């Protein structure tokens, strides 16, 4: 889990349900419109995740018959689901490029929706993780035997990507009006 657990399309669906009950089709639609360039989530994948969430007790479902269209599974978030969602919202996402683009942005999206006052804190802890990661990569590269060409190229790219993300985070600071003196 944690670092690359790739769990957040799950939490994103949960996050939409925090605003009120809904059903699979609609959740997938909203996801696609709002975060479709962040992740790609297929319809069947969305249904699979929702089923899992139900099995875990994070959401509850009840069938709603419709006059003309097929019946819907109306989905509600449970107390447990709500708790799990807000716990997730405050976790760090780790510091690899992919999970920052995917998970951190998703977290930011739902923080803005449900907990805007927490944004500075979430922002800062993410930035801290990135800076730690940069140091640890610099260290790794320094101690890598010189003949390890391909491992070095890989680590170099990762390091450069982390530095890029550091700058991109500065853009986010501006866009979300986060002041500098937090943490």
Partner DNA sequence: CCTGATATACCCATTGAGTGAGTATATCAG
Partner DNA sequence: CTGATATACTCACTCAATGGGTATATCAGG
Q: Residue 81 has which token pair? A: 């689901």
The DSSP bridge partners found for residue 77 are 59
Rg (C-alpha) for the chain, rounded Å, is: 19
- Please report whether residue 120 would count as binding DNA according to CB under 7 A: no
- Helix ranges (H only) for 100-177 are 105-114, 119-142, 149-175
Name which of 70 and 145 has its Cβ closer to a second copy. Answer: 145
Near DNA by CB under 7 A: residue from 25, 86, 109, 176: 25
- Please report whether residue 157 would count as binding a second copy according to CB under 8 A: yes
**Three-state secondary structure readout of 39-96:** CCCCHHHHHHHHHHHHHHCCEEEEEECCCCCCCEEEEEECHHHHHHHHHHHHCCCCCC
Which residues from 45-104 bind DNA, rule CB under 7 A? 45, 47-49, 51-52, 66, 68-73
Q: Which residues bind DNA (CB under 7 A)?
A: 5-7, 9-10, 23-26, 29, 40, 42-45, 47-49, 51-52, 66, 68-73
Q: Which residues bind a second copy (CB under 8 A)?
A: 34-38, 97-98, 101, 105-106, 108-109, 140, 144, 148-158, 160-161, 164-165, 168, 171-172, 175
């Amino acid at each position: 889990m944690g670092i690359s657990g790739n769990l957040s399309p799950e939490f994103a669906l949960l996050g939409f349900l925090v605003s009120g009950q809904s059903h699979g089709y609609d959740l997938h639609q909203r996801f696609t419109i709002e975060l479709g360039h962040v992740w790609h989530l297929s319809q069947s994948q969305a249904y699979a995740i929702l089923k899992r969430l139900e099995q875990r007790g994070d959401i509850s479902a009840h069938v709603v018959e419709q006059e003309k269209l097929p019946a819907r599974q109306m989905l509600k978030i449970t107390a447990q689901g709500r708790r799990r969602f807000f716990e997730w919202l405050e976790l760090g996402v780790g510091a690899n490029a992919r999970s920052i683009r995917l998970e951190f942005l998703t977290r930011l999206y739902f923080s803005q929706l449900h907990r805007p006052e927490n944004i500075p804190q979430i922002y800062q802890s993410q930035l801290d993780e990135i800076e730690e990661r940069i140091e640890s990569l610099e260290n790794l590269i320094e101690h890598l035997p010189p003949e390890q060409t391909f491992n070095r190229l890989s680590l170099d790219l990762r390091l450069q990507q982390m530095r890029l993300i550091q700058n991109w985070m500065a853009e986010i600071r501006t866009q979300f009006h986060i002041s500098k003196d937090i943490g």
